[in-house]
Structure 1
Amino acid sequence: MKSHIAFTGFLGKRLHLGVSGSIAAYKGLDLLRMFKDSGADVGVTLTDSAQQFITPLSFEALGASPVFSQMYPVGDDVFGHLMPGEACHAFVIAPASATTIARLANGLADDMLSCQALAFPEKLVIAPAMNPRMWHNAATQENIQKLCNRGHVVVEPGCGRTACLEEGQGRLAAVEDIYLHGLRALAPQDMAGQTVMVTLGPTREKWDGVRFWSNPSSGTMGASFAVAAWLRGAKVHAICGQGTPWLPSVITRHDVTSAADMYEAADSLWNAIDIGVFTAAVADYTPVPFGDSKFKKGGDDLTVSFTRTVDILKTLGTAKQDGQKVIGFAAETDNLHDNMKKKLAAKNADIIVGNNVAKSGSGFGTATNEVCIVDKNGRQEDWPLAPKPEVAWRVFDWLLQL
C-alpha cells in the first residue's frame, strides 16, 4: 500500500464488506487486507453470484469474521441480516453489480447482502463494476441517481478495457479509492465544512534547457496531510510539486513546478482557505537563468547567480485573517528547537512541525518522521518516529484543540 494512505488509527472500528457478482470480486481480498491493516475489524457477505468467482473461505483465511454466504444461515444466527446495522460503523459494497444496485435502489431484500444493506441505518459506500453498456443503461443510471439522492456514496467506475474486452466506463474503481472512501465512513467528520490547502513536494528552479535547482523531497508528508484532512470531512486543495504521490480524485490537485508557480497557486486560493498546511520544500533561491538552450561546459570553473524566491509561508501567514490557521514545517539539520521557535514567530504560524532531516527515517523520501511540535501558546512536544499518516492525523488533532 502507498505509505501516505496507510492509516492505522481505526482500532475498535468495524466495517462490513459486501461482494457481488463480477470478475472484480477478487479485489475484495485486497480491500479486506487494507481495511484490516487500518486496525478495523471486517466482516464480509458474498452473494451467490460472487461465489462463482471467489469463495467465502478466501475471506475467512485472511481474517474476515463473520463471513455470510447464504440468505438463511445454518445454526443459531437467524438474525445475521441485522448484524452490520447493529455492529458496524461503515458498509462498503465492492464490486456492486447492476443487479445488486437495482436491489438497493428499489428496496428489494431477496438475498443476504440486500437484507443487510436495507437494515443498515447509515450511508453505504457503493463501488459499481459492470460492462460499459450496462453501466450507461438508463435503468442503471436511474438506480444510481436514486442511491445518490438518498445520501449514499457511489465510487464511480473507472474507464478502460473491461473483462469482456470492451473499452469504456465500467471497470471497478481503483482499490485505493474505495479503501479511502471506506475509511472516511469510519473517520470522525470533525473537519467537515473546512477548506484545507496543503503545499507539498519540492519546487524545481530552472537554470538552462535541461538543468534545475531542487531538493529530494518526495511529498509524502504533505500527501498524508491532504488525505487525512479529506478523511475527516474537509474539502482539500493540494498544491503539488514535481514527483509528488498519487492523490484521490476527490482532492483538488494543482500541479506546479517552480516556487513562483506554487506561490501563485496558493495565493489565488488563500482567501477561501480555513487551514493552510505548508509542508512543501520550497527552494529559497532560484538561479538566474542561463536560457532555454543547454549550457556547454568550457573552462574549469562555473559561477551561477541566484535570487530570492517568495517566502510562501511567511507571505500568506502574515496575511491570514481571523479564523484562518497555519501549520508550517521546519526541515533542519541542527538547532531544531531554536529554529522552530524563530520560524513560528517570523511566519505568524499557529503550529510549526520540525524534523531533523539528517536523522535516519526522518529525512526526505521516507515513510516515517520523527518530529517536534511547537504552537503559538508555547506548548511543545517531541514525538518518536512514526508513520507519516499518523503524524498528520495527530497534528490535526492538536490544531483542532488549539
Structure 2
Amino acid sequence: MRVAMIGTGYVGLVSGTCFSEFGHSVTCVDKNPDRINSLLRGEIPIFEPGLDDLVLRNVKAGRLSFTMDIKAAVANADAVFIGVGTPSRRGDGEADLSYVYAAAKEIAEALTHYTLIVTKSTVPVGTGREVERIIRETRPDAEFEVASNPEFLREGAAIEDFMRPDRVVCGAGSDRARELLRALYRPLYINETPILFTTLETAELIKYAGNAFLATKITFINEIADLCEKVNVNVQDVARGIGLDGRIGGKFLHAGPGYGGSCFPKDTNALAATGRKFDAPLSIVETVIDVNDKRKGRMAEKVVAACGGSVKGKTIAVLGLTFKPETDDMRDSPSLEIVPALQSAGATIRAFDPEGMHEAKKLFKDIVWCDDGYETATGADVLVIITEWNQFRALDMEKLKTLLRAPVMVDLRNIYKPAEMKQAGFRYYSVGRPPVQ
C-alpha cells in the first residue's frame, strides 16, 4: 500500500519507517527543510535505538522516502497519516491542534481519489470530527474518510512497540476504512495481535486515558515512597508486593523523581483540560499533575539535605539529564527542575548524559560539561543520579571515592543497594528506602 506520513518528528518518523518495514511504500513529509535534508543524507534527527539502521535499510529498498512536497505524497497515497506535534498550549494546558488542522487543510487540497486520513498524533476527543469538517469544507468534492490510530510508543523501545504491540487501536466508521487499516497492519493481524476497532472518539480517548493511568501509577508509588521513608520501609518491597497482584501489575511502580517526557505531562494536562471543557472534572488526574510537578522540587531538597542542609559553594556531579534512558529527549525531564534549583541554592553543577548533551546544552546555563561519569565526579562534593542509563549501573565505587571530595551519592533511581553502598564506604541516599545503619 502507498502511505504518506505527515510529520517526521518522533511519532511520524518511527511510524513511517516501521510501516515501510512492513512492506508498504511510505513517503514521509515535513515542512522543515533542514530536517528533510538531514534525512536525505541519512542523518537521523532523533536518537532511538535501531532507528538509523531501519531507515537506511528501507530507503535502500526503495520503500521509504522523504520530501517537502505534500501534494505529491498525498496524491499518490491510499492512506495519509497525520503525525505532527500537539504540544500543550500555554495558559490552559489544552493540546495545541494548529499543526493538525493546518495539515488537514493541505491534505484536502491534494486529494485526488478515495483516501483514508488517519490521525496518528495524540489528539483530544472531537479532533477527528474537526479534521473531517476542515477537509469537507476545503474540498466538498473529495472522497475520503477520517480515522484515528493513536500511537503507543515508548521512547527507547519504539521500534519494538510498533512491531510487537500489546494492541492496535483503530477508530474507524466504515467497513472500507477498517479493511484498509487491517491491510496496513497485516503482519500484526497475521500474528494475532489484538486490533481493537472503535469509534473515532473512543480511540482518541483511549490514548489519553491510558497515559493518564500510567502517570497515576508512577505518582502513586512516589507518594508511597515518601511514606516509606517516614516509617522505615523499602518501597521496592512494597511495589513488588502489590505488583504481583494481577489486577495491579508491576510496571510503572518504580519510585523516582517524577515522570517527564513528550507524552505524560502534556497528555495529562490535555485530558484534565478536556474534563473541564465538558464539565466532567477529572480530580484524580488534576492531583497527579500537581503532585508530579511538586515532586521534582522535592528531589532538589533531598540533594540539599544530603549535603547537610546547604549546597552553597559546593560542586554537584549530575549523571543523566534526559527524562529516561535510551533517548535524547529533554522534554519535561526532572533535571530541568532539579538542576536550576540546585544552582539557585548556590551549587556549581558538573554534568554528563550519554545522549542528551546536545539538547541539554540548549536548556541549561553555567554548567561544566563532562565526557563521562568519572570526569563528572572529579572534585564534586556529591554525586547525583537523575537518569538510570545502563553505564551508570556499574560504576567503580573505589575509583569514585578517589575522585569525589566526599563519598556521598544521591540515587534518585534506586539503581544501587543501600547495604552494598554502605560497605563501599558511601553515604548513600535513595528514594523510599531506609538508610542502612
More strand by share: 1
More helix by share: 2
Q: Give the TM-score of the pair, scaled to structure 1.
A: 0.30
